Amino acid sequence: MSRDKRLVVVTPKFFDDATISFLEDHGCSVVLAKLPDGKADAAATEEELVSVLADADAWIVGHANVTLSLLQALPRLKVIARRGVGYERVDVDAAQKTGKVVTIAAGGNEESVADRTLGLMLATAHRFRESQQQLIDGPGSILIGHDLYGKTVGLVGLGRIAQHVVRRLRAFETTILVSTPRPTCTYGKAMNIEYVDLDVLLQRSDFVSLHAPLTPATNHLIDATGLARMKNSAFLINTARGGLVDDRALLASLKEGRIAGAGLDVFESESELGLAWVTNELVRLPNVIATPHSGASTHEGLQRTNLVAANCVVAVLGGEQPPAGCLVASSAYSVS
């Protein structure tokens, strides 16, 4: 490979040809990393990552853990571009210390995750899983579900994805409650939403949908106490981050019928491997619809996030500011 081109190493799977062409047209060489045993980058060891990234100028990353020791072993690396919007697996302080730029793919996956959120609401309320099982097992009684239409939906958080959810919910003539640390009156009036505190939201909502980032302050935001505040006819939807919910408490609530069901795309066991048994039990419950953190994984969503990440790489390697909303860490730019 000619070193007059910048080397971009891509470790997540499903990277499309159009985005590769975009990078090549902007003076980059692209390598789609092949990790041992077909691993996803989240499962790669630091040694394996160093091996594939040793000559990289830029790294487009999926869910790998980005640590200080890893970054120190990659002096050539200039930019870590997350294909996604969460960056809790990236040591931002380490990136600052080692002079790296960290970006996210803001604006790439909101539509896909918003679709998944509504899909989980409908699937849990209409009891899709249980109804299909009735057909598999043989003739049985028709199961009676619930409408989303006309219900009260509580959104915890009001970021980009939640705002797309709000627009979709308006078609169902729902009452929308929002709990957020930064309510915006103008947006609230325009979208006909009501800002309330979390306790009120849990008590009033027929559907509770989580859209908050995972931080020390939001870990177990929904715990046994919060679940006890929900209606026993309510559904919990989580397409954000697993740690927002105490999954052990959720399992107990579902088993004991204290809430009606859950639609889950994320689980605590993604970061706490010792809780895999909880996930295994949750996904086997008849009133749970579960998907494997794949809400953003549509053909269209991945193409969008690939291209946003690529735009971040091209901008940083060219000495320019990354696209709006994408910059997470840098000593060279101001982070908004």
Are 6-108+298-329 and 110-290 the same fold in CATH?
yes
CATH 3.40.50.720 holds for 110-290? yes
The whole model's pTM is what? 0.88
CATH 2.60.40.10 holds for 6-108+298-329? no
For residue 209, the model assigns a pLDDT of: 98
Catalytic residue set: 241, 270, 293
pLDDT band at residue 330 using 50, 70 and 90 as cut-offs? confident
How far from the centroid of its chain's Cα atoms is residue 239's Cα?
A: 6
Radius of gyration of the chain measured on its C-alpha atoms? 21
CA atoms within 13 A on the CB side of 135: 5
Residues 210-230 pLDDT 10s: 999 999 999 999 999 999 999
Residues 59-86 pLDDT 10s: 999 999 999 999 999 999 999 999 998 8
pLDDT band at residue 238 using 50, 70 and 90 as cut-offs? very high
Residues 126-174 pLDDT 10s: 999 999 999 999 887 899 999 999 999 999 999 999 999 999 999 999 9
Encoded amino acid at 313, one letter: V
**Mean pLDDT, to the nearest integer, of 78-102?**
94
- Least confident span in 19-23, 118-122, 326-330: 326-330
Of 25, 91, 31, nearest in space to 311 by CA: 25
For residue 3, the model assigns a pLDDT of: 58
> Across the chain, which distance is largest between two alpha carbons, in Å?
69
How many contiguous H segments (helices) and E segments (strands) does the chain have? 13, 13
Domain boundaries of the chain, sorted by first residue: 6-108+298-329, 110-290
For residue 332, the model assigns a pLDDT of: 61
